Structure 1
Amino acid sequence: MDKSASETNDLRSFTCFEDYDRVPGFVISQTAYAIRKSIAKNIKNAGFDITPQEFAILNRLATHPTLNQRMLAELTYKDRPAVTRMLTHLMTKGLVEKQTCGNDRRAYLVRLTKKGKDIRDLIVPIAQKVLHQALDGTKIKDLETTIKTLHKITTNLNPQDS
């Protein structure tokens, strides 16, 4: 049996929907849910009225100071309507602001307000603490392999993004 046929047979155990605990998409989703749930709980317990998804927007705006909604959706892996709803909530809370983009009144850029930056900076250590707890006992080499593998999966499914 050649190597590719052998690898295909080996992959079958990871694509068998009778054993969901070995299907990468399910395990990834389960892990993401557990992290999001824990971050949400810790943010709420610290007295902040921010969801993990809203925090992701604040965080992206902190690292990319001015973005349009399309780029923000791409960077946070959210669809545009979801980003629109979150931006509306964040603007109501005074954490982000919009400004029109040139002559096109329909296009706008989004940026953090000072309050938004301050809130984001207070939430970062909370999220980091959750991630440290989640990664406890994980070897750096294993984590690096996992991240590399997840990037490979993403590239395989979104080749135009690479």
Structure 2
Amino acid sequence: MKTPNSLEENLLFQISEVAKLLHKRLTIAFEEGGFDVTPEQFSILALLWYKEGINQQDIANELRRDKTTIARIISNMINRNLIIKIPDQLDKRNNLIYLTKKGKELQTEMVATSGKVYVQTMQRLSAKDVAVSLSVLKQITKNFE
């Protein structure tokens, strides 16, 4: 592996830049769509749209975020009536997270909005470019395990 000569040639720096730009683009798209939801909240909503009734630790694990950050986001989402906590009947130490009606109603429009951002982001990439990029990113992720 060649050592990068600049930030422009540094893959990890470029990954970070893409993540920041995507976050900004999603934030703008959600605001323009009239959604009072952050990209971080959207990631929790998206997880719950497909896997409702899980605890905070499972959410943190699925999204690869620390439990404290997830707890803060969840607290904000409860205050916005997007989700609720219900005590786990099998383990009273845990609360399970469920969508409210408001949280469920956001799915179609928010998925469509994020899908437009995805298409716009990927528009000049070939299928081969995407496949190679995914392979590289998955390998980088494995290097942290």
2:2 to 9, 12, 15: 12
**Percent of aligned pairs sharing the same letter:** 28
Find the aligned partners of 1:64 and 1:48 in 2 and give their Cα distance: 22
Larger radius of gyration, structure 1 or 2?
1
Pick from 116, 133, 144 the counterpart of residue 129 of structure 1: 116
Gaps of 5+ in 2: none
Give 1:4-153 correspondences, 5 Å limit.
11-13=1-3, 16=4, 18-102=5-89, 104-153=91-140
Structure 1 unaligned blocks of 5 or more: 1-10
**Alpha-carbon contact 1:65-1:111 (below 8 Å) kept:** yes
1:5 corresponds in structure 2 to none
Larger RCO (alpha carbons 8 Å, 6+ apart): 2
Normalising by structure 1, we get a TM-score of 0.84
Shift of 1:109: 0.8
Whether contact under 8 Å (1:43, 1:126) holds in the other structure is yes
Q: Distance in 2 between matches of 1:119 and 1:102?
A: 28
2 CA distance for matches of 1:61 and 1:103?
20
TM-score (norm 2): 0.93
Instruction: Give structure 1 regions of 4+ aligned residues with deviation exceeding 2 angstroms.
Output: 102-106
CA distance in 1, matches of 2:56, 2:36: 22
The alignment of Structure 1 onto Structure 2 pairs a total of residues equal to: 145
